[in-house]
């Protein structure tokens, strides 16, 4: 029987690639980097046949002309390559992904599909660090966490449960690892409501989100300037409580939170916790193990790494 053999949750930040020389909290940065390496070793030890990467989109593969709540890459998968992340075609498993999409719909979770999906660091950061040297195909599952309305957290958990049920219905002894990429707490200098941008920077970002299809690089320079100039806003107490609940197997309670409640507790970037809830639900909300937590104002994010075994 095909089965999920491991779940991993890890924060991402392209500033880790481009701003390491500006890090002040070096010990925290190294602790997070080392934890990524430890999680990578756990994945290798699990001997997976493929990896499902549940991540967010940062308006390099989706734009405001169309953003489904959930999208599964079932054909070509292309890394955008921003900020020294992997670029170009990635190794994929189209037949598995298409069958997975069909089964998810039959089980009540309607996922969109893409036969030519461009992903950004919402998935490629995980490929770069968690799958380093591990030659397995990837199936990206993109969750909309930045363009309201966002999918409800309980629907994300339902997606995770149906994901495992669909995998277990497959023939053969397929071993699958589910990776969640995103979070923890952070506040991006993005408009909370894309319909009502406030000021020139937010107006520029909305224009980039609306018109970036096929031309996202034209907007990327100023986008990076806006992000790197942002004031860090982290919520370490929330992050630590979230990881403690992960270790106790109690993440299911976060599925009752609203979008507004998550934003107030963990910032607008905290909406990426939906990816962790998909992963944790796929592992049956089993107790896990936090490998590291590093609040990194230099990277604008509370950086965490954790693993869950079935």
Report how far apart the first and last C-alpha atoms of the chain are (Å, whole number): 14
Average predicted confidence (pLDDT) for the chain:
95
Mind listing the pLDDT tens digit for each residue in 135-159? 999 999 999 999 999 999 999 999 9
Q: Which residues touch 8 (CB under 8 Å, ≥6 apart)? A: 39, 42, 43, 130, 177, 178, 179, 180, 279, 305, 306, 307, 308
Cis status of the peptide bond prior to 149, with omega within 30 of 0 = yes
Fold adopted by 3-308: Protocatechuate 4,5-dioxygenase; Chain B (3.40.830)
Q: With H, G, I as helix, E, B as strand and everything else as coil, classify residue 221.
A: helix
Mind listing the pLDDT tens digit for each residue in 166-209? 999 998 899 999 999 999 999 998 888 888 898 999 999 999 99
Q: What is the pTM of this model?
A: 0.96
Q: Which residues touch 249 (CB under 8 Å, ≥6 apart)? A: 285, 286, 287, 288
């Amino acid at each position: 029987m095909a089965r999920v053999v491991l779940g991993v949750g890890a924060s991402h930040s392209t500033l880790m690639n481009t701003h390491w020389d500006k890090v002040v909290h070096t010990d925290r940065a190294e602790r997070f980097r080392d934890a990524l390496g430890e999680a990578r070793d756990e994945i290798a030890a699990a001997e997976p046949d493929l990896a499902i990467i549940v991540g967010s989109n940062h308006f390099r593969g989706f734009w405001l002309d169309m953003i489904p709540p959930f999208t599964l890459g079932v054909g070509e998968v292309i890394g955008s390559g921003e900020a020294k992340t992997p670029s170009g075609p990635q190794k994929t498993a189209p037949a598995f992904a298409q069958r997975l999409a069909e089964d998810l719909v039959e089980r009540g979770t309607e996922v969109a599909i893409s036969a030519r999906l461009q992903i950004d660091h919402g998935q490629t950061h995980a490929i770069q660090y968690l799958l380093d040297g591990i030659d397995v195909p990837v199936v990206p599952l993109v969750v909309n966490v930045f363009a309201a309305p966002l999918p409800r957290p309980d629907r994300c958990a339902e997606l995770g449960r149906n994901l495992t049920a669909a995998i277990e219905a497959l023939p053969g002894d397929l071993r699958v690892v589910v990776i969640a990429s995103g979070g923890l707490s952070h506040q991006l200098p993005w408009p909370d409501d894309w319909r009502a941008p406030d000021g020139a920077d937010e107006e520029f970002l909305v224009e980039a989100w609306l018109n970036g299809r096929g031309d996202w690089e034209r907007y990327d320079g100023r986008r990076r300037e806006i992000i790197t100039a942002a004031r860090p806003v982290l919520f370490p107490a929330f992050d630590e409580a979230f990881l403690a609940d992960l270790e106790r197997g109690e993440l299911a309670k976060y599925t009752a939170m609203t979008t507004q409640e998550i934003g107030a507790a963990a910032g607008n970037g905290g909406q990426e916790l939906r990816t962790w809830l998909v992963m944790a639900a796929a592992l049956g909300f089993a107790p896990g193990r936090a490998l590291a937590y590093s609040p990194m104002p230099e990277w604008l994010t509370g950086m965490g790494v954790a693993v869950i075994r079935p």
